[in-house]
Structure 1
Amino acid sequence: MILATSIQLIATLTKYPEILIAGRVIGSFFSPMCDSVLILYLQEISPVKIRGALSSLCATGYFVMALFGMMLGMKNILGHNLTILLGVPIPPGLAALAFLLYLPETPKFLMIVKQNRLAAKKSLVFYQGDQPTNDEILDEFIYETKNEPDAKGSLSDLLFVPYLRKALLLANAMLVLTVPFFAILLSSTYFLMEIDIPSHVAQLSSTFLAVVLILTCFIATYLLKSFGRRPLLNFSGIGSIISLCVFAIAGKFYEQNDIMKYIALSGMVGYMVCYGYDY
């Protein structure tokens, strides 16, 4: 990601848009990889009691950085200078990389894949402290692998093992709820201006959407402790679909009534609230 950002920065100093495209392609390849690896990493280093809450912090951090980027991208801040704007993530990225070099691999990976019990125990002590139950936790990791006779540990298991195939289908069905988010996050100002909301109101509304998203992520972290995952996901999923319908219908008829454009805006806010819960 640091390399991709650096390439995009260099592109702004040249006359070749192909360099910028190359940087974007590299970024689009590694960005989702970073997201998925980070979620898995957080799950594997955290105690069972806080695993859900800690995993949800990945989304919170992502949205905080999105808000930060939106604020810097405003024309009166750094939006007028693309070179500086693209250079901002590089120093913190290098600092984060140095910090990652200090962190050990997850105990689960070391125990199951590397089969290095000593390194796995050191990692477990690093992340969860020196507990008398650490040896039992490591034994549970091995038990997990032996307790799945149908699975061979390959990607083909997702297609040929019935319960894994069902889980894959359900997971992809739930991912449909995330599809509209990226368009709204990246183009919310454009969407709002298209329904004749003034430019300054549209920009402030986009920033407000990001703030709402962050707040709902914090709330969701606490709700995970009180409610089951399924009820929370079902409630927020239904709410997000209803909110999108409100946005689409009101946005269609904004020319007939001025209030429709603000109803459309409320639908967008509603979607962001629901998305913060289901993410």
Structure 2
Amino acid sequence: MEKQLTGTLALAVFVAALGSLQYGYSLGVINAPQKVIQTHYARSMGLYFDAEFDEERNLSTTLPNPDPNPSILTMYWSLSVAMFPVGGIISSFLVGFVADFRGRIKGMLVLNILAIMGSLLMGLAKLGTPHIMVIAGRAVMGFYCGLSSGLVPMYIGEIAPVKYRGALGTLHQLAIVTGILISQVLGLDILLGNPELWNVLLGLSGAIAVLQSLLLPLCPESPRYLYIKLGKKEEACKSLKRFKGEYDTTKDLVEMQVEKEALEKEEKISLFRLIRSSIYRKQLCVALTLHLSQQFSGINAIFYYSTGIFQRAGVSQPVYATIGVGVVNMIFTLVSVVLVDRTGRRTLMLIGLGGMCLCAVGMTVGLVYQFTFSWMSYLSMTAIFLFVCFFEIGPGPIPWFIVAELFSQGPRPAAIALAGFCNWTSNFIIGMFFPYIEELCGQYMFIIFVVLLFGFTLFTCFRVPETKGKTFEEIAALFQKERVPRPVVGTELEQLKGDTVA
């Protein structure tokens, strides 16, 4: 019997998840020091703002331009937020190429060069033009994170035992929310979120890349990549034993051999062939819709702009409330780790999306009546915290790893690339346009998300099957409405074992 969980497997998952930690850090770091960074933008561009914007430095007397032009600052700030997903949009199409060209481990190792470049641009922003260097650094970091957010779930999904595939897959999201929380804490004014150290705060993500680079050589390559993609059976066998301990690898090799033979019988599944193929259309529709539900749920409006939202809800210390969101975020991701392989993917998605829909209604009611009833600010805060809880139960972690479950080795890289593109594009739309939606809709800004969440809940209810504990072949059969392939037994198993050993 192989060991299901070993030290090597734990190390490999931890090291891979450092890329997700960096993603989360980059996602949340722009939030807390918003006013401080905008102050430097204003100074570098010569804009005028009244003393309330920065009382200590009284920019209204020190900046030369007497004409206020806040729309320019709003544009540059929106670009600072939105260029991060723009980088992800571009790089998401390269996930399959990077993963297959040099492998999962070497791919993640090379990508850290991008992360260090992006962190240097932001860390040195004070030496140049702050808004240009921050926007450029955010774009480069987004390019890195677009690739990393595809490679990390792919690698973890391929090395995880079936029994723990959901729980280990959820660790990608746990690392993201941990990174968000770390960035929010470090973004406090008493730590790094102040006029002297804000550039250090933005550039600190490079330290995570350095740590991962030091640890990645200790991690084995994915056995599925070695055997199915490269045909290196002996190396795949060694990798399996490093992950699971000394055991008879025949069963795992037989499973990979069956998948390899099926893959060899068909042409390589490119991105465009995947889009045109009727065989994978249902899986692709589910995968893309789940990623859309993650981003268009409104969660990134909370992550990017929660400080301002809490301020409008009447919270006296909005930065600390934002950190509270980060803590709740991490706790309920841990809850999802425990539940995902017990309750199932579909059930948690339904609970999460339905709960978020109700919370979005609560947020809207709280914002509309906050000046009519004093207790409405508490309703708004409670709804925001519950919104994050429901997100992390299902819509947060599940879309990232379920794509690897829905597709076999052949179309998997292309499917992950397309899902990543969908995720990052919707991320960009929220990051870029939410401030304008907020201006246009005012207190009713979350009504849009209520409608979207209701639609996503209905889609999940009627179109998303349960994938818990199923092999790739069984999952494919669910979509093709075919009978689940019968187990290989008797003389057939002996023959496959003989072929594998040979």
Say yes or no: TM over 0.5.
yes
In 2: Cα distance, 1:151 partner to 1:12 partner: 52
Task: Provide closer, same or farther for how the CA distance between residues 40 and 219 of structure 1 changes in structure 2, counting only shifts above 3 A.
Answer: same
**What residue identity is the alignment partner of 1:277?**
I
1:76 aligns with one of 179, 182, 190: 190
| CA distance 1:159–1:150, shift in 2 (3 Å) | farther
Tell me, in whole angstroms, the C-alpha distance in 1 between the residues paired with 2:137 and 2:165. Answer: 34
Instruction: Report the Cα offset of residue 163 of structure 1.
Output: 4.1
Indicate whether 1:14 and 2:128 are aligned: yes
Structure-to-structure mapping, 1:128-143, within 5 angstroms: 128-132=244-248, 134-143=249-258
Other-structure match for 1:187 = 305
Asked if 2 retains the 8 angstrom alpha-carbon contact of 1:46 and 1:128, the reply is no
Q: In the alignment, what sits opposite 2:372? A: 256
For residues 151 and 266 of structure 1, the distance between their equivalents in structure 2, rounded to whole angstroms, comes to: 52
Q: Show the counterpart of 1:59.
A: 173
Are 1:232 and 1:277, in contact at CA under 8 Å, matched by a contact in 2?
Answer: yes
Counterparts of 1:102 and 1:35, CA distance in 2: 21
CA RMSD for the aligned pairs?
Answer: 1.8
Q: Provide the rounded CA distance (Å) in 2 between the counterparts of 1:73 and 1:28.
A: 19
Letter in 1 for 2:359: S
- Name the structure 2 match of 1:44: 158
Report the counterpart of residue 233 of structure 2 in structure 1: 117
Query: Offset at 1:156?
Result: 2.9
Alignment CA distance shift 1:158-1:248 (3 Å) = farther
Question: Number of paired residues?
Answer: 276
38-47 or 88-97: bigger deviation: 88-97
What residue number does 1:197 align with?
315
Report how far residue 151 of structure 1 moved.
6.6
Residue pair 1:151, 1:161 contacting (<8 A) in 2 also? no
Shift of 1:16: 4.9
Select 1:220's aligned residue among 333, 336, 340: 336
CA contact (8 A) 1:213 1:273 kept: yes
Give matches, 1:239-254, under 5 Å.
Answer: 239-254=355-370
Deviation larger for 183-192 or 87-96: 87-96
Q: Is the 8 A contact 2:119 2:204 kept in 1?
A: no
Aligned match of 1:146: 261
User: What letter matches 1:190 in structure 2?
Assistant: G
Q: Distance in 1 between matches of 2:369 and 2:266?
A: 54
Q: Distance in 2 between matches of 1:162 and 1:215?
A: 40
Amino acid at match of 1:65: G
Maintained 8 Å contact 2:158/2:223: yes
Please name the residue that 2:283 is paired with. 167
AA partner of residue 98 (structure 1): L
Percentage of matched positions with identical amino acids: 23
Higher relative contact order (CA 8 A, sep 6+): 2
Larger % of helix: which? Answer: 1
Q: Deviations over 1:249-271 (max 9, x none)?
A: 32133222222222111111111
Cα distance, 1:55 vs structure 2: 0.7
| Letter of the structure 1 residue corresponding to residue 300 of structure 2 | F
Larger Rg: 2
TM-score normalized by the length of structure 2? 0.52
Quickly say closer, same or farther: Cα 1:195–1:204, change in 2 above 3 A: same
The CA distance in 2 between the partners of 1:217 and 1:31, in whole Å, is 20
After TM superposition, give the deviation of residue 136 of structure 1 in Å: 2.4
Tell me if the contact between 1:239 and 1:274 (Cα under 8 Å) persists in the aligned partners: yes
> Which amino acid is 2:302 matched to?
I
Instruction: Give the counterpart letter for 2:252 in structure 1.
Output: I
Q: Deviations over 1:127-158 (max 9, x none)?
A: 222221x1321231231243466674222343
